[in-house]
Structure 1
Amino acid sequence: MNILDIINKFPNQESCIKFLEEIRWNNKPKCLFCFSEKVNSVLKESRYKCKKCHKFFSVTAQTIFHHTRVPLQKWFILIVLMANAKKSLSSSQASRDLNLRLATVWKMMHKIRKAMANDEIRLTA
């Protein structure tokens, strides 16, 4: 997969969230705390509320994308850039390519490397 594939497949935040929901829950959201499948959709940014334990959660909770302000499309692009780099990708270059602050990209790359070292991009609870 390359950058153009990512841009075409995930043109906006909603398409990225739908993809994560499909991979993580097979489009059937499950509470991350009590694992109940009885959840209500909350209109704000694809959040859910469990009917059993009454806690709020989203598809990005307990993943490397949790509490990020960076659009998921940029995360996906960075993952592809890192995976496709022959030797390594510098955070300075990625910062310029993604139009993000160097410190932000450095933290993102650190999280991605840690997830890759564990042989996972954490998408399951």
Structure 2
Amino acid sequence: MNLIDVTKQFPTDEECLGYIEKMRWPDGVVRCPICGVDKISRITRKGTSKNVRQSIF
């Protein structure tokens, strides 16, 4: 897959990150790979730029 294919398949950061999460956690439960805990938090930017990611939980 080249960069053009990537931008066509994932036009937004949210879609790309969602795909990566589905690949990493196919059952949909995000867990720590070390301890297995499912209580997670996402890091978000405090700025008002377009790079702020919304929580899905």
Q: Which structure carries more strand by proportion?
A: 1
For residues 39 and 9 of structure 1, the distance between their equivalents in structure 2, rounded to whole angstroms, comes to: 30
AA aligned to 2:16 is C
Number of residue pairs the alignment of both structures matches:
46
Unaligned runs of 5+ in 2: 45-52
Q: Which structure carries more helix by proportion?
A: 1
Following TM superposition, the consecutive aligned residue runs of length 4 or more in structure 1 with deviations greater than 3 angstroms are: 40-43
Aligned to 1:28: 29
For residues 39 and 23 of structure 1, the distance between their equivalents in structure 2, rounded to whole angstroms, comes to: 19
Structure ID, larger Rg: 1
Give RMSD over aligned pairs. Answer: 2.7
Deviations 1:32-84 (A, max 9, x none): 33112x324547345x9xxxxxxxxxxxxxxxxxxxxxxxxxxxxxxxxxxxx
Aligned to 1:121: none
Q: Give the fraction of aligned pairs with identical amino acids, expressed as a percent.
A: 30
Q: Which has the higher contact order (CA 8 A, sep 6+)?
A: 1
TM-score (norm 1): 0.29
TM-score (norm 2): 0.53
Deviations 1:66-117 (A, max 9, x none): xxxxxxxxxxxxxxxxxxxxxxxxxxxxxxxxxxxxxxxxxxxxxxxxxxxx
